[in-house]
Amino acid sequence: MDVLVADAVNPHNLMAARLQMALSLGWHIIVACLGVGMPAITLIAEWRGHRTGDPHVQLLARRWAKAMGVLFAVGAVSGTILSFEMGLLWPGLMGTYGEVIGLPFALEGIAFFIEAIFLGIYLYAWDRLPPVPHLLSGIPIVIAGVASAFFVVTANAWMQQPTGFDTREGRVTAVEPWAAMFNPATPPQTVHMILAAFMVAGFSMAAVYAVAMLRGRRDRYHRVGFLIPFTVAAVITPVQIGVGDWAAHFVAENQPVKLAAMEGVFETERGVPLHLGGVAVDGELRYALEIPYGLSLLAHWDPNAEIAGLNEVPTAEHPPVNVVHWAFQVMVGLGFALLALVAWQWWAWWRRRDLPRSPWFLRAAALAGAAAVVALEAGWTVTEVGRQPWLVYGVMRTSEAVNPAPGLVYGFAGVAAVYAVLTVATVYVLRRMAREKPVPVAPQERDVSDYKVV
Amino acid sequence: MPLPEILLGLLWIGVTAYVLFGGADFGGGVWDLLAGGAERGARQRALVEHAIGPVWEANHVWLIFVIVLAWTGVPSVFAAVASTLYIPLTLTALGIIARGSAFAFRKASTLLWQRRLFGAAFAFSSVVTPFFLGTVAGAIASGRVPPGIAEGDLAASWLNPTSLVSGALAVGTAAYLAAVYLTRDAQRAGDAGLAAAFRRRALAAGVVVGGLSAVGLVVLRADAPRLFDRLTTGAALPLLALSVAAGVVSLALLAWTRAFLAVRVTAALAVVGLLWGWGVGQYPRLLPGVTLREAAATDAVLAATLGALAVGAVLLVPSLVWLYATFQRGDGQGEGESGDAGAFPRAENNS
């Protein structure tokens, strides 16, 4: 490790800052995915309800909108904290490179503004607007949600593939902001993330109704409540597997150290097997199941392709191999499990225009929401931990960017306590909302909360 | 006008909008806190909730806008402020989380104890959050944030006379703006009793804020003489005069007329005068020894960001106008006397 840096930074501070960032980002990313995916799914239900006049579908749209209102509020504030933390925890990054990644964040700010404005109109003016204008007022929420996900992820992609700037003696001398934003990692990473958001939203919304159906409530309301979000997820999942392959090829070409950590490859070799499971101990992956030539084939479409090992770089520049390796395995494994579930459903639908009869299908679907969230977090871990010890790949180490002020540990403790309370309260409120009966005309207006829809 | 000045101007417009709109939402929480018991305060709380519900998230985005423009336009200044003032900024961040989520949770709750619990979190954090933001403003204004990363005193930078007065002033301004806005909301809803109650609160808050501003000037004179000189003699003097005049007119209008819509304008002007007076007084020095030109990002970044914001404004401005127009019109079903009678929280029914 760089001796100067090690001296300058208190390791507890660095660890506290990393944990605080991981906690706030890992929390926000779930809510943000629901914020990106739920509006589209809710609009589909509202549109179906408007077209068919089916009161069940109309009620579903209203209840989803109400939950969306709560989740959006929580997402707005947990996202704000992240913009604070960029400066509070990583002033070394922002002071030098803030201007390089400023453009996508400014664009994200505009997108978020539009999202918040139209969400206010969509939720509170449900009873003041005629049905079609109301439906139309929801469309900017969907577009802006996807756009803000895109903009934020371009900034993260820049940290993986920093381009578009010149430095001299640690100072940025010239910037091409558009080149920084559209860096090589941007296309695969943004697409992978946006599709993940729709998978998380689709599977977790469907899971709520899968649980209800397992408890015997198999009426039309619960069936449709399951089918709409599940269908969205079922359309996205196969595409996501392909995009995931694209993203992995990108890593193989551009971040060989990360690929080596993902696969637990230490020595550079040709014809490298794919490792399933295993633990990295003393510079070697042990107990893994090996599929011969698998990795060379998957990463480069050539069974004899050369894969660079971790030992190409000094040990100090290795990311934590076991974390990255296992996170990658978990993400891929869950991705394929979700694909199998989706295939089961497609097959049953093709045969009989119905859900699979087996209760195991609903049991699996009930777990699919949690599985999608775990896959999301695992994928995020691969991206972020796989980049360590760099904050900006090859340019700035995480330890160079951290705030040297003492006492970040207390900040982390405070944030952790607040997030614990926030988690409990969010889950509690959402569960109560799922059980409540009456739904007002406008999902956020109490004035009319006794209005019975069905 | 050169690019750094345009960007700084936009950033300051963002700060102003955040204080005028987001600040008033915080003030709503202050009045929620002071509204009294669940029975007695129900009407006031319902009005506050009704007024800020649809708009607070959009108003909140101004803060994100300011933060992002700061790190894009003057990255080293952003890093210096965030690292030295990380304690009040962390507390602000936690306050923002508690406030926003508790507000949403209260809306989604039906039982009295839940509404009380979330309401208390919402109201309490509405008071402390602007206070901490105010201390940050005071720290920057009194030149206590040196350039460099975490170079300033972690405690004294924000625990000092200017910061404390600024914190109190921030809470007072938020409460004052909210009371003024809510008076008009209650008047439009046709609730004369509630309008009178908020009018009294607006008057009281206005007097307190006026007094705090005077104290603030005295403190500034001792604590930050450079800014004081600029405010009282230099280019900032007309803005300070505007602020004082608008403040006096607002109080007069509140005391002797029912022109509550006009008071909204004059009250906002008083706050705008204060903020822009500070901005002009401090310009071009952002931190001790650091001018705007030294800290500004490269022209390529500024041009791209300003271009993006110009395009964004074409989408944003009509959307914002539509949002406010939708919820400030009196013709909706949920408005008017009969509608607002139903606007009370259902807490009473369930208790």
Q: Is the pLDDT of residue B340 over 80?
A: no
Q: Is the pLDDT of residue A449 over 60?
A: no
Name the DSSP class of A445.
-
- Rounded mean pLDDT of A202-210? 95
Write b or e for each residue in A147-178: b if 16 or more Cβ atoms lie within 10 A of its Cβ, otherwise e.
bbbbbbbbbbbbbbbbbbbeeeeeebeebbbe
Q: What distances in angstroms separate CA B85 from CA A344, A409, B133, one per listed residue?
A: 55, 16, 10
Predicted confidence (pLDDT) per residue in A261-289, tens digit: 999 899 898 989 999 988 888 888 888 88
Which value, to the nearest 10 degrees, does the dihedral of the CA atoms of residues B160, B163, B165, B170 take?
A: -160
Nearest to A98 among B57, B63, B72 (CB): B72
Chain A neighbors of B93, CB-CB under 8 A = 80-81, 84-85, 88, 415
Q: Is A320 helix (H, G, I), strand (E, B) or coil?
A: coil
- The nearest CA of chain A is from the CA of B202 a distance in Å of 26
Residues 6 or more apart in contact with residue A118 via CB below 8 angstroms = A137, A138, A140, A141, A144, B319
- The nearest CA of chain A is from the CA of B242 a distance in Å of 31
Positive or negative torsion for Cα A383, A423, B99, A70: positive
- Rounded mean pLDDT of B242-255? 90
* Chain A with chain B: Cβ pairs closer than 8 A: 268
The secondary element (H helix, E strand) that includes residue B39 is none
Nearest to B89 among A88, A119, A177 (CB): A88
pLDDT category at A91 given cuts 50, 70, 90 is very high
- The nearest CA of chain B is from the CA of A372 a distance in Å of 24
Chain B neighbors of A92, CB-CB under 8 A = 79, 149
Q: Determine the Cα angle at B346 with ends B342 and B347, to 5°.
A: 140
Chain B nearest-CA residue for A82: B93
Nearest to A73 among B73, B103, B149 (CB): B103
What pLDDT shows up at residue B334?
39
Chain A neighbors of B71, CB-CB under 8 A = 86-87, 94, 98-99, 102, 105
**CA atoms lying within 13 Å on the CB side of residue A301:** 5
- The nearest CA of chain B is from the CA of A120 a distance in Å of 5
CB contact under 8 A, B154 and A407: yes
- Rounded mean pLDDT of B270-297? 90
pLDDT category at B119 given cuts 50, 70, 90 is confident
Find the DSSP H helices in A353-449: 359-385, 398-401, 408-435
**Residue of A113, A143, A409 to mutate when probing chain B, most B C-beta within 10 A:** A113
ipTM of the complex: 0.86
Chain A neighbors of B154, CB-CB under 8 A = 405-407
A315 burial via Cβ count (<10 Å: 0-12, 13-18, 19+):
exposed
What is the Cα gyration radius of chain A? 23
CB contact under 8 A, A114 and B319: yes
Predicted confidence (pLDDT) per residue in B163-186, tens digit: 999 999 999 999 999 999 998 888
Residues 6 or more apart in contact with residue A78 via CB below 8 angstroms = A24, A27, A28, A31, A422, B97
Q: Is the pLDDT of residue B216 over 60?
A: yes
Chain B neighbors of A408, CB-CB under 8 A = 86
pLDDT category at A3 given cuts 50, 70, 90 is very low
Predicted confidence (pLDDT) per residue in A395-416, tens digit: 999 988 999 888 889 989 999 9
Predicted confidence (pLDDT) per residue in A323-360, tens digit: 999 999 999 999 999 999 999 999 999 998 888 888 89
C-alpha A6/C-alpha A156 separation (Å) is 25
- Rounded mean pLDDT of A209-227? 90
CB contact under 8 A, B82 and A69: no
Q: Specify the range with the lowest mean pLDDT, choosing from A117-131, A189-203, A430-444, B133-147.
A: A430-444
Chain A nearest-CA residue for B77: A95
DSSP string over A3-40: HHHHHHS-HHHHHHHHHHHHHHHHHHHHHHHHHHHHHH
What pLDDT shows up at residue A150?
96
Q: Is the pLDDT of residue A99 over 70?
A: yes
Chain A nearest-CA residue for B67: A83
- Rounded mean pLDDT of A64-88? 91
Query: Residue A267 region, left (φ>0) first, then alpha (ψ -120 to 50), else beta?
Result: beta
> Number of helices (H) and strands (E), helices first, in chain A?
15, 10
CB contact under 8 A, A87 and B81: yes
- Rounded mean pLDDT of A247-267? 91
What pLDDT shows up at residue B333?
38
Nearest to B58 by CA among B310, B342, B322, B276: B322
Nearest to A86 among B71, B99, B308 (CB): B71
CB contact under 8 A, A70 and B104: yes
pLDDT above 90 covers a percentage of chain A that reads 57
Q: Specify the range with the lowest mean pLDDT, choosing from A82-96, A103-117, A260-274, A427-441.
A: A427-441
Nearest to B306 by CA among A174, A107, A150, A113: A107
Nearest to B305 among A77, A106, A408 (CB): A106
Nearest to B150 among A97, A403, A446 (CB): A403
Cβ(B55)–Cβ(A123) under 8 Å?
no
Backbone phi, psi, residue A3, to 5°: -65, -45
- The nearest CA of chain B is from the CA of A166 a distance in Å of 11
Nearest to B57 among A73, A81, A411 (CB): A73
Q: What distances in angstroms separate CA A330 from CA A13, A193, A295, A326, A337, one per listed residue?
A: 30, 16, 17, 6, 10
Other Cβ atoms closer than 10 A to A215 = 10
- The nearest CA of chain B is from the CA of A446 a distance in Å of 6
Name the DSSP class of A310.
G
C-alpha B91/C-alpha B125 separation (Å) is 10
**CA atoms lying within 13 Å on the CB side of residue A269:** 16
Name the DSSP class of B344.
S
Q: Specify the range with the lowest mean pLDDT, choosing from A51-65, A369-383, B40-54.
A: B40-54
Q: What distances in angstroms separate CA B349 from CA A352, B42, B111, B334, one per listed residue?
A: 49, 12, 9, 19
Backbone phi, psi, residue A396, to 5°: -140, 130
- The nearest CA of chain A is from the CA of B169 a distance in Å of 23
